[in-house]
Structure 1
């Protein structure tokens, strides 16, 4: 899938992440959305707001989309990720796979996992 063809909500979450705009970021999720990251779950917008504040915006995360693929009900995007976080033991550069499930026009589920690299899907 060409990156320019990503659904608008994914383009919006990338822009909100990199701006940074925490309110616009959280607005990309449905009220009952679920985020899976670092082995933990955050359910609902209030929990996702706390997760994004602590794990995303505090670390000044910058997302650079590298490639994307539609896989059944998910869109998987490989991001090169940078920011102000402890990189001890992490690959350099760091690539993460974001698995998006979208229920128009919002993100219903997001799972974030370590990628094997820029060609990680």
Structure 2
């Protein structure tokens, strides 16, 4: 059985390998709630899958992603990412983001992303 440290490291490796949607299928709970900063959360795996597919489908140039830090607690992980890409609707995006994951039954039940505009 994987530890939380192993799970978040595998999830991050999948994202870095361009397999974020595969990571989503493996590590996210059916009732997952995902939230960007303080915007209204998106509830449920189906709705979040669609949100993720829409996001990745609008990236026109992906220049890189980097994990800058990982923290693991009891049923809680946090990852500091740096992203550099061009998005069809938002233009050039080059920023640092903190992602905080709450785990339940070995899967992410809640994730919130914190970043500047």
Same fold (TM over 0.5): yes
Mapped to 2, the partners of 1:7 and 1:49 lie a distance apart of 24
- TM-superposed CA distance for 1:32, in Å, is 0.5
- TM-superposed CA distance for 1:65, in Å, is 0.8
Q: Which runs of 5+ in 1 are unaligned?
A: 116-121
- Maintained 8 Å contact 1:17/1:61: no
Moved over 6 A (4+): none
CA distance 1:106–1:63, change in 2 (3 Å): farther
Q: Which runs of 5+ in 2 are unaligned?
A: none
- Maintained 8 Å contact 1:18/1:61: no
Superposed CA RMSD in Å reads 2.8
CA distance 1:109–1:56, change in 2 (3 Å): farther
User: Within 5 A, what are the aligned runs for 1:8-23?
Assistant: 8-21=6-19, 23=21
| Corresponding pairs, count | 108
- Maintained 8 Å contact 1:80/1:96: yes
Instruction: Indicate the structure with greater strand content.
Output: 2
